[in-house]
Amino acid sequence: MSKQAPKYIEVFSKLRQALISGEYPEGSFLPTENELVRMYGVSKSTVRHAIKILRENSLIEVKQGSGAKVLPTVQKPILSAKYRDSRLRSAVSVRYNTAGEQKIENTRAAIDMVQAGETVAAALQIGRNSKVYRLQRLQLVDGAAFGYMVNYISEQMTPGLPEKGEIVTNLYDHIADHYGIGIVSAEETVGAALAGFVEAQLLRVEVNQPLIVLRRLSIGDRGPLEYCETTVRPDLFQLVITLSKQEQP
C-alpha cells in the first residue's frame, strides 16, 4: 500500500480482505466500533470512515442498534439439479439492442486532473485528495450513446498522461506503450442507479430513469492502476452470462 494512504484506507483495506477471505462470514457482524479501535490502534473517526467506505461498496449494511452486518461478497453459482455434481463454465458477453450494423466506438476522451474522493482513493490505495487523472468519454453503438465512462488513474503511476498523445481506442494498450505497465487482473461489479441531470443529458434519457452501473478495478503489475465507473442504458446494452457444463478432466 502507498505510504501516503491515510489510516482509514488502511483499515478499510484490511477489513475488506477479512470479508473476502471469509474471516467474517456472510450474515455475521463486524466487531464493534470500540473493538475495531483497539484492534487497529486508531481513532473512532478513522474506524467510522472505513466503515462508511465498506458500506458504500455494498460489503456491509449498518443496522442501528445492531452493528455492521456482513453482506455477500461473492455471488453463489446457480446450479441446476442435472449438473449439481458438475462444474459449470461461465462466459460473459454483451448484447446491443439496435437494428443497425452495431458499430461500436468511443468518443475522444476529455482528460483533466482531480482530487481522489473516498471511493477512488480506497480502490487505488492512495491518499484521499491525491491527484488522479479523470478520463470522460461516451460509448456509442450505431451513433447512439449507450454508455458514459469515467476512468480514474493515479497521477503517480502515469505522470504526464495528457501529453502522451490522444487515447484513441484501448486505454490499457496506451498505458502499456508509454509506461510499460501491464494489466494483471480486473474485477467488475454490476449495480444500478437513477439518472441524474448529467447522465440524462449525455445519454438522452429522462432524469431518474434506471441505469446500469459497471464499476471496475484494474490491477497492473505495479499495483492498482485504474478505477472506472460506466453508466449505461439498459435498453441499449445488456450483459449476457451463459453457463455451460464443463467436462471433468
Residue 47 pLDDT class (50, 70, 90 cuts): very high
Query: How confident is the model over 188-239, as pLDDT tens digits?
Result: 888 888 888 889 999 999 988 999 999 999 988 888 999 999 999 999 888 8
Which residues are registered as beta bridge partners of 113? Answer: 133
Query: How confident is the model over 24-40, as pLDDT tens digits?
Result: 888 899 999 999 999 99
Pick the closest to residue 14 from 61, 62, 51 (CA basis): 51
Residue 86 pLDDT class (50, 70, 90 cuts): very low
pLDDT of residue 203: 93
Dist CA 30 CA 192 (whole Å):
26
For the entire predicted model, the pTM comes to: 0.65
Query: How confident is the model over 121-160, as pLDDT tens digits?
Result: 888 988 878 899 999 989 998 888 999 999 999 888 899 9
Residue 6 pLDDT class (50, 70, 90 cuts): low
pLDDT of residue 248: 55
* C-alpha cell read off for 144: 447512439
47, burial (CB in 10 Å: exposed 0-12, middle 13-18, buried 19+): buried
Q: Position 98: which residue type?
A: T
Say whether pLDDT at 73 is over 80: no
pLDDT of residue 214: 92
Q: Helix, strand, or coil here: 22?
A: coil
Long-range contacts of 126-132 (CB under 8 A, 24+ apart): 126/2, 126/4, 126/5, 126/154, 126/156, 127/2, 127/4, 127/5, 127/6, 127/9, 128/6, 128/9, 130/4, 130/154, 130/155, 130/156, 131/155, 131/156
Q: Which domains does the chain have, with CATH numbers?
A: 7-70 (1.10.10.10), 94-241 (3.40.1410.10)
Give start and end residues of each alpha helix (H) in the chain: 7-21, 33-40, 44-56, 118-124, 171-179, 197-203
Greater confidence, 214 or 164? Answer: 214
Percent of the chain with pLDDT over 70: 87
Residue 75 pLDDT class (50, 70, 90 cuts): very low
